Amino acid sequence: MRRIVLSVAFAAVFGAATAKPTETPESSVLLKPTTDQAEAAIWAMRFLSRFHYKPMPLDDAMSEKIFDGYVDGLDGDHLFFTRADIDTFAAARDKLDDAIFERDLNAPFTIFNLYQKRVGERLAYSRELLAKPFDFSKQETYEFERAKAPWAKDSAELDDLWRKRVKNDWLRLKLAGKADKDIRETLDKRYSNYMDRIRQLNSEDVFQTFMNAYAMAIEPHTNYLSPRASANFDIAMKLSLEGIGAVLQRQDEYTAIREIIPGGPAAISGKLKAGDRVVGVGQGDSGPMTDVIGWRLDDVVDKIRGAKGTVVRVEILPEAAGPDGKHEILTLTRNKVSVEEQAAKKSVIDIKNGDTSRKVGVISLPTFYQDFDARRRGDGNYKSATRDVERLLGELREEKVEGIVVDLRNNGGGSLDEATDLTGLFIDKGPVVQIRDAGGRVEEKSDRRAGASWTGPLAVLVNRSSASASEIFAAAIQDYGRGVIIGEPTFGKGTVQNLLNMDDMARNEKPTYGDLKMTVQQFFRIDGGSTQLRGVVPDINFPLTVAAEDFGESSYDNALPWTSIAKADYAPVADLKPMVPLLIARHEARTSKEPEWQNFESDIADAKKMRDEKMISLNEQVRIKERDEQEAKRKAREALAGETLPAKPGAAVATTDASKVPSAIDPKTGTLVPAADAKSEKVLADGTKPPSEDDGLQADERSIQSDLKREQERKTRRDIVLNEAAHIVADEAELIRSDTKLAARILPQSTDAAN
């Protein structure tokens, strides 16, 4: 997670300009910096050293931080470089500042070119190992967590490390019931595909990784975005693009259809389905068809994106067809497509307590999005999280819900304005957040619109991945006494970033230099405190799914410190203090008798134990015993909770699958990532484990249809955490109706209990 720079969830969605790949899988030329990149680095230096919230000079000390971050970005798990390689680079350790000033970026590119060579050596060695059988009766272990491990002293030590890594890959597939012949073919293709992706990295990828090492050496949330990454960030914020409306993923050497977006040209045609493979793309009604087999995913995406009203031809190899199957060519007219996956959604949970049933509405908000360009143009229908939530609240009022849960789990933030405006849906008027710039000047962001869209019982559900704008909203709701905060302490990101287009500054007519996402301010709660490092502490705590030292602002070595300022001029609208202990008592009494909740807590404890482990056995009998014990424990827990778990529409499931050998490019950022560990355990967002066992495969090695089926299995499992949050809101509604004096204190002033 330290290498995840920003959440661009739609990099793999068809959508604007066409581009020719700069490298093919067969090429292995040494990459070199361009003149434009050298100039971009100078522009970035000027802004980062002068206008950042925490400006730091580009000097020898900064050079050392950049060096460490860059090497970590390439080989964070110490799987490719040796100690001798690192010593070879030592001369550049305090010279990277000079490299930027002198517009000579050969040093970081030289480091990358050696990295690419070392990856090739390791993967070639790994493929050679597949010819010989492994002895799984030996008592040996594999260290899969190597971020803090010393560099291997020589290639012989790396050989032994990779022997164990390949042995573990083989054992996982063997335990999943695969035959030796199939295992050998799967792993040979896996390592070959990984090398292809490394060879496809281009100069822009290397430069972005290097510049991100510079930006993040100053502060964790400052980043450099290449022109391509900037375009994807824009898509993520406005939740729309112009294309054919499909989601792509890499599958072996193919680019395959992952999902068809409703309402887009692909969906309207009715001729594309999940699992179909894109083998060629042509522009217009008669432009030449370009073979895209083996291309990078984002290069294929760029080929298919295009302006609304233009024509693209897509050559498809249907899912059911073999490699030599009949191709089909579809002609589609690009259009504006709304990417609704990250948009606000609603659902209703019926809570029964004896003979009483109460409806609780749920607003799930994955991100605080806004189409900035459309708003600037005066488009009255611009996409906005607040506008969507306001509409959904109206629909929930019509459904006669008695309380609302705003689910912000895994919401990493977004637009500051949206956080302010969304708060305004639940209060009358007043300040929402205070913002201080580098000069110490403080301003307030306030809700100025009179009235509220919902004045009844309210809870905000958060977890450790709720960050930034999510924390602004949750903190304001808490400070006003407007609702109960439920869940885990949040991420602790209390800084504000602006997106600076360096091409605008340099007056470039076309995207050349990229953007800086630069920290320029720090935000504070209206009570004067900060969410920085500490996050928002819930009123009602749920079990911790991750330790603060492993994930969150406090896990960064260079995070800004916690501080405080004077409180804003505001008055709480209600006093929740007398109610919270009553809700906690009911919550604890209920969950102490609830088998599903007890399983949830046990699963979290098991997951923590597994996270703390850094080694895994390579003895087959030991692994079988561990697997059988886990499976027996899972079945016992399911039997205790009951075999049939009711479905929960729209359940959010986050999977951490460290068994995947990652793409050479982080799909969210475009930056280089090192190989991940080989552990196979998965944990769902609600703390439970998935019903299916580890199959030893990566995502791109499964059929898309079977992978979608696995996802659907997870979605049908009840979201235990959300269900308990709804119970707490139903408890609040019951307390309000049974005690008018209590209701007068805990509901917004001058409103009634019935909303």
Residues annotated as catalytic are 468, 479, 493
In 544-583, where do the E strands start and end? Answer: none
Q: Measured between alpha carbons, how far is 9 from 639 in angstroms, rounded to an integer?
A: 37
Measured N-to-C along each axis, helices 580-591 and 720-738 cross at an angle, to the nearest 10 degrees, of: 130
Question: Tokens 């005690």 map to which residue?
Answer: 739
Return all residues near 90 (Cβ < 8 A) that are at least 6 apart. none
- CA distance linking residue 471 with residue 458, whole number of Å: 16
Pick the closest to residue 14 from 257, 234, 238, 305 (CA basis).
305
| Tokens matching residue 739 | 């005690």
One-letter amino acid of 68: D
Cβ neighbours of residue 121 under 8 Å, at least 6 residues apart?
Answer: 155
How far is it, in rounded angstroms, from Cα 689 to Cα 606?
Answer: 10
3-state helix, strand, coil in the chain (%, to 5): 40, 15, 45
**How many Å apart are CA 76 and CA 87, to the nearest integer?**
16
Residue type, 187: L
Cα 135 to Cα 132: distance, rounded to the nearest angstrom: 10
Specify the pairing of strand 335-338 against strand 345-353. unpaired
Phi first, then psi: what are they for 121, rounded to 5°?
Answer: -65, -45
- Token look-up 């998965």 returns 682
Spatial distance between the Cα atoms of 418 and 455, rounded to a whole number of angstroms: 19
Q: In degrees, to the nearest 5, what angle opens at C-alpha 621 toward C-alphas 619 and 625?
A: 120
Q: Distance of alpha carbon 583 from its chain centroid, rounded?
A: 32
φ, ψ of residue 578 to 5 degrees: the values are -70, -20
Q: Which of 4, 37, 29 is closest to 207 using CA atoms?
A: 37
- The packing angle between helices 155-175 and 180-199, to 10°, is 130
The helix or strand, by DSSP H or E, that contains position 242, with its residue range, turns out to be strand 240-243
Total residues found in the chain within this entry: 755
* Residue 621: HSE in the Cβ half-sphere, 13 Å Cα cutoff: 4
CA distances from 685 to 273, 463, 507, 559, 734 (A): 28, 10, 45, 26, 29
Q: What is the C-alpha to C-alpha distance for residues 242 and 237, in angstroms, rounded to an integer?
A: 14
Please name the residue that has the structure tokens 């272990």: 141
d(CA 32, CA 23): 13
Beta bridge partners of 436: 442, 522
Query: Cβ distance 276 to 257 under 8 Å?
Result: yes
Q: Closest by alpha carbon to 222, among 68, 55, 409, 411?
A: 55
**Which residue, 245, 232, 268, 244, is CA-closest to 339?**
245
CA distance 32 to 105: 8
**Burial, 148: exposed, middle or buried (Cβ in 10 Å; 0-12, 13-18, 19+)?**
exposed
Q: Return all residues near 644 (Cβ < 8 A) that are at least 6 apart.
A: none
Taking the C-alpha atoms of residue 165 and residue 127, their distance in angstroms, rounded to an integer, is 12
Nearest CA-CA partner of 465 in 654, 651, 607: 654
Q: Kindly state the DSSP code that residue 461 receives in the 8-state scheme.
A: E
